[in-house]
Structure 1
């Protein structure tokens, strides 16, 4: 949704030929509101059926859109948090070095171009290497300190270390008061 120097699969080149994120960030800030950048499914590692030869998702030419080609069954999203707590092994591979580097570069690009006040992550971020997730937080927080900007990043489950960002509970809640900041979000459509 932004004018990226890292991919042609962006709104400026492939979509409406506009920098949607840039336009939104300017308009939102004109109204003295905070600007949020959201990231979902961590750029599609295993999200689309890239193994399915009957779809264009399997065409290497479209890797920048659908993510890298994987074998069927290579990527199964993780077990629920209770199973992870119980020590049951996760069922998916971590992203390779190339994917991790792309992930981090895109986040740095967003931070540098748009200075988001909040970077919200959907879950499944644990496919990204731990050192890359730490590098992102360090980059984002240091960039904010340099610009005297108060910022927040979010995570779900165990994607970041407790205290390094704000825990996000999507369509959920805690049963007891907690001693750390957290965020709750919900859908506006009961059927989504």
Structure 2
């Protein structure tokens, strides 16, 4: 499933007004550890909380100071409109590249390798081993694209006529492709041990074209629920896959010190339709709130936002993209199922304010790829990309 938003293109208009207030932003925020959660209950035994009666949570998460407040009203009021450079560029290239390519089973390999009988599952058995013993974390450890050369690729793309690139920063697999402050499972610590986004940024800037970063990790907390399953038949029947491992289980192993919860998340299969959705080709769980995991949900939403803020702070992209359906992230429905909060508004406001602070005006508008136009907010560039 690929329906996207390109989150607000930062357009540099002359409306900056020299906002030189002292900066307070999310990248200085000290996010606490993953909250403790109760032992998983029986699968499909807990009803989802009602999104109609659950009030949107206003996160205690600082953003960069500036005219944009973390509300749709403020963002729309200050939004300068769709950037001319985007229309003039006409042609850009999407870089959908990451460790899931190692599985040679599609861009959802990480999820499907835990679904018994799928091509991804069979390929994983053949190339790596059983997912109860050798899971996706081992794929990350072994992934090493030695011939990856972003400069050579950017030169090819520019010669082909591309005037902007859209570069994947993190897919649903939760693996950050940069020197991530908030995600220890990242490309500088595992696999290639390289700051891949940093390398892309240098190559793109040298070529003189624009670039954006994409983020697909909002709904990873229910996307990853296949990792908590086990085989239903054969010699490994009932043996849990490695998503069930804990930090303590890593003692003496190659991944000691890396908590699997930061990769696979937590087991949420007790909620109605979550397990069913995990094994579908593409279908979010039914709309609702993970009402017995609210502390974790708030932590997760902050973690989602902070990682985006961190990448923006480090690489200063011209635009960003968030993946999802036509619902707002953390809306309680669609890909935003599970929680309701203002994480998206905070990310957008922080991005716009940071660009004003750095460039003096909203020169480049950011935008986010997906059909969230239905939000009704006139502060994002609408786009829709679909494919199977």
- TM, length-normalised to structure 1: 0.73
In the TM superposition, what whole-angstrom CA distance separates every residue of 1:110-147 from its partner, at most 9, and x where no partner exists? 11001111111111534264411101000001011112
Task: Report the Cα distance in structure 2 between the residues aligned to 1:41 and 1:103, rounded to whole angstroms.
Answer: 7
Question: Does structure 2 conserve the Cα–Cα contact (< 8 Å) formed by 1:63 and 1:69?
Answer: no
In the TM superposition, what whole-angstrom CA distance separates every residue of 1:141-172 from its partner, at most 9, and x where no partner exists? 1011112241313153448552121122113x
Stretches of structure 2 that go unaligned for 5 or more consecutive residues are: 1-176, 231-239, 248-259, 278-282, 331-335
1:13 aligns with 2:189: yes
Task: Report the Cα distance in structure 2 between the residues aligned to 1:64 and 1:15, rounded to whole angstroms.
Answer: 16
37 and 103 in structure 1: CA distance in 2 versus 1, 3 angstrom threshold = same
Question: Does structure 1 conserve the Cα–Cα contact (< 8 Å) formed by 2:228 and 2:267?
Answer: yes
Q: Cα distance, 1:70 vs. partner? A: 1.4
* Match among 345, 356, 362 for residue 134 of structure 1: 345
98 and 7 in structure 1: CA distance in 2 versus 1, 3 angstrom threshold = same
Task: Report the Cα distance in structure 2 between the residues aligned to 1:18 and 1:107, rounded to whole angstroms.
Answer: 19
Task: Report the Cα distance in structure 2 between the residues aligned to 1:66 and 1:24, rounded to whole angstroms.
Answer: 27
1:59 aligns with 2:260: no
* Match among 364, 368, 375 for residue 150 of structure 1: 364
1:71 aligns with 2:244: no
1:117 aligns with 2:293: no
Structure 2 partner of 1:46? 222
Structure 2 partner of 1:2? 178
1:103 aligns with 2:103: no
Q: Aligned pairs, how many?
A: 164
CA RMSD of aligned residues (A): 2.6
Question: Does structure 2 conserve the Cα–Cα contact (< 8 Å) formed by 1:40 and 1:121?
Answer: yes
Q: Cα distance, 1:92 vs. partner? A: 6.2
User: 61-70 or 159-168: which moved more?
Assistant: 159-168
15 and 43 in structure 1: CA distance in 2 versus 1, 3 angstrom threshold = farther
Task: Report the Cα distance in structure 1 between the residues aligned to 2:308 and 2:364, rounded to whole angstroms.
Answer: 17
* More relative contact order, 1 or 2 (CA 8 Å, 6+ apart): 2
User: 44-53 or 137-146: which moved more?
Assistant: 44-53
In the TM superposition, what whole-angstrom CA distance separates every residue of 1:14-33 from its partner, at most 9, and x where no partner exists? 12000000010110111011
SS in 2 for 1:113: helix
Question: Does structure 2 conserve the Cα–Cα contact (< 8 Å) formed by 1:60 and 1:69?
Answer: no
User: 90-99 or 43-52: which moved more?
Assistant: 90-99
Structure number with larger C-alpha Rg = 2
Task: Report the Cα distance in structure 1 between the residues aligned to 2:351 and 2:307, rounded to whole angstroms.
Answer: 12
Question: Does structure 2 conserve the Cα–Cα contact (< 8 Å) formed by 1:118 and 1:151?
Answer: yes
Q: Cα distance, 1:7 vs. partner? A: 2.1
Task: Report the Cα distance in structure 2 between the residues aligned to 1:51 and 1:91, rounded to whole angstroms.
Answer: 21
Question: Does structure 2 conserve the Cα–Cα contact (< 8 Å) formed by 1:2 and 1:21?
Answer: yes
SS in 1 for 2:223: coil
Structure 2 partner of 1:90? 287
- TM, length-normalised to structure 2: 0.38
In the TM superposition, what whole-angstrom CA distance separates every residue of 1:28-80 from its partner, at most 9, and x where no partner exists? 1110111211111426111112432521122243111122321255534448x
* Match among 28, 51, 60 for residue 204 of structure 2: 28
